[in-house]
Structure 1
Amino acid sequence: MSVVLDTAEVPPAERAEFWHEAVSRTFIPLDVALLESVPSRAVIVSHALGAVQVSRVQAGPQRVERTAGLIARGGEDRLTLALQHRGTSRQEHHGLRLELRPGTFAISDAARPFAKELPEPFDFTALHWPRSAVGVSEEDLRVLTATAFDAGDGTARLVAAYVDRLARSAGSMEPRQAAWLATTALSLLAALAHERRGRSVPEAPETALATLARVKDHILRHLGDQDLSPERIAAAHHVSVRHLHKLFRFEGVTVARWIQRQRLDMCRRDLGRPAAGRATGRATVGAVAARWGFVSASHFSRSFRAAYGVSPREWQAGAGPVAVPGR
């Protein structure tokens, strides 16, 4: 389903406020300052593809900033790839400056401050995802962020072409197919990280990527099953356990580690919901852990603290911004 945010019917005097809210609601909390006395029409068309969101953004000149204060308001677990189609984007990421021109892309990390200035009318595609979904280390993520990638080179060319095609066809795809294809996009980003660090990656033809996408979809639909195991997953997809592990080597993590990351992410989401206690009482930590497949409450608590830096109870009580998996 497409979500369209359009300022065409908004009075010019109200467009700045409307657009600021639209951008923050679509992506993460951001400060947006329009650079026109009479704001141009601006449009965002977004599609949810499983855990991934792909959006096409067209607007007039503006400046966008992500400050430490905004990071504290949420969204610190997200990353965004912006593929420039029209106009330029001058960016600053923790002291590093870069410029995007049409055909180039960069990845921003919502856990770190950044600023972007788009001095002319622009058009770009944005791929937005939770950092745990890619399955690479924090060191790998750092080589992906604050870098201008030329879409004419190596794996970067494949990433740009795939993201562009994904955005153009997202509105016509079935939800499950869309989620599979989005997972493949994240696999390509993992390959790009390996390439940037000078490491070889396991061979990943389209058939292997498609199998990996189906496996991930299966795991996400069965996260609450405490018996979910590599053996059961392999049997459900008619592959050997060895082959399953080989697929996940491309992700840079083991099957078990990827499952744990998804379970922790779901638990963190449920425990952090402020509306959980309004009518029926806030769900207990143990109940949430069991809902997402954790057998041992003590193991869950240790894993949660290791991933986020606080205990599940502290997070539920509103401990505030915490670290993200891998930090």
Structure 2
Amino acid sequence: MSLASVAPSSVDQDRLAQEEPSQRFGFLRVTTVEGGAQNLVGPTAPPGRRPAGAIGVGIHIKGTAVLVQDDRAQRCAPGDVFVIDMARPYTVRELGDFRLHFFRIPVAALGVPDEDRTVLWGVHRQSGDGVVQLLAPLLEAIADSVASYSQHVAHRLAGSVTDLLGTLVSERTVSERTDSGAPDDNADRTGMVRRIRSFVNENLGDRELSPEMIAAHHHVSVRYLHKAFVSEGTTISRWIQQRRLEECRRELARLGQATSSVAAVAKRWGFVNAAHFSRSFRAAYGISPSDWLRVRSAGGSTAPHDQDTGVPLLAG
């Protein structure tokens, strides 16, 4: 759909980010917006006062809209989920009477690298198979009964939202690689990568886990092992660290199990050096592991918030 084909509305306002009252749900902010045909635009604040490191996730309950961001226009129907970068200009053009739920999510809580988040921007249909079929009903249920959940449950459900968004990134990334049409001329190598991934996931806590150990276990050379992972867009060592960080992040986020120290969690998942773990965690998620533990286990009350938006400033 071209931008020229979308007739502009006579009303332009930033109701998603500022004007509508929002409710806190764990580390999320939830807003319900409804009305007649209009443009919901943003950000209207100057760059220095825009929500730092936040994405917006909306689900349309009633009405049809056109989402415009980065010179791309996509139609959004009831049940569809859309994702926007709130730091860059966007317009949600409502074409008639509508109702939608909108969630503001700190990028640091999402835990997805900048380059991987690009697959999230735009409209995701609930009509097809995949993660959106799980995500959309969860967003709607949360928005319809925000006040009914305890703080403990709210944080766990907020974590489920970010986990599903992370899974959506993985789903879309795999789909893009498949759609690229790159021929898999080595089925044996594909099977080997699958077995290696399974082996790594089963042995993440082993501090001796290394390319040399993995190659010896699978009776291949280290050179072959590295070559097998070239098509995965990463190295085996980098992927091992990514998986360890993911498991540390999940464990630190589990409420009711926060008795372990950050160092103990890091050691349990194979990190030998606590300082290296802390640096790696912050580089991956934009927040230190101790701050992440406090935000997820203490209801987020220890994290500073943007005065205008209420978005936790987790990346500082």
TM-score, structure 2 as length reference: 0.56
| Residue segments in structure 2 that go unaligned for 5+ positions in a row | 1-9, 176-193, 202-245, 272-279, 309-313
Contact 1:49/1:179 (8 A) holds in 2: yes
Query: Which residue identity does 1:142 align to in structure 2?
Result: T
Match of 1:143, SS?
Answer: coil
Pairing of 1:36-75 with structure 2 (within 5 A): 46-66=22-42, 70-75=46-51
Aligned to 1:151: 126
Contact 1:88/1:101 (8 A) holds in 2: yes
Contact 1:87/1:120 (8 A) holds in 2: yes
Contact 2:281/2:289 (8 A) holds in 1: no
Aligned to 1:140: 116
Pairing of 1:69-108 with structure 2 (within 5 A): 70-108=46-84
Q: Deviations over 1:132-186 (max 9, x none)?
A: 11000112211101x2111123111111111112222322111111111111111
| Residue segments in structure 1 that go unaligned for 5+ positions in a row | 1-15, 31-43, 204-208, 235-239, 245-252, 275-303, 309-327
User: Radius of gyration: which is bigger?
Assistant: 2
In 2: Cα distance, 1:53 partner to 1:194 partner: 24
Root-mean-square deviation (Å): 4.4
TM-score, structure 1 as length reference: 0.54
Q: Deviations over 1:249-306 (max 9, x none)?
A: xxxx85995551774999xx759889xxxxxxxxxxxxxxxxxxxxxxxxxxxxx9xx
Query: Which residue identity does 1:85 align to in structure 2?
Result: I
Q: 1:194 Cα deviation (Å)? A: 0.7
Identity between Structure 1 and Structure 2 (%): 20
Aligned to 1:165: 141
Kindly tell me: are residues 228 and 257 of structure 1, through their superposed partners in 2, closer, same or farther at Cα, counting changes over 3 Å?
Answer: farther
Query: Which one of the candidate residues 260, 264, 268 is aligned to 1:241?
Result: 268
In 2: Cα distance, 1:99 partner to 1:217 partner: 37
Query: Which residue identity does 1:260 align to in structure 2?
Result: S
**Structure with the larger RCO, 1 or 2 (CA within 8 Å, 6+ apart):** 2
Match of 2:23, SS?
Answer: strand
1:229 aligns with 2:262: yes
Pairing of 1:202-221 with structure 2 (within 5 A): 215-216=252-253
1:260 aligns with 2:249: no
More deviation, 128-137/165-174: 165-174
**Runs ≥4 residues deviating over 6 A:** 199-203, 211-214, 271-274
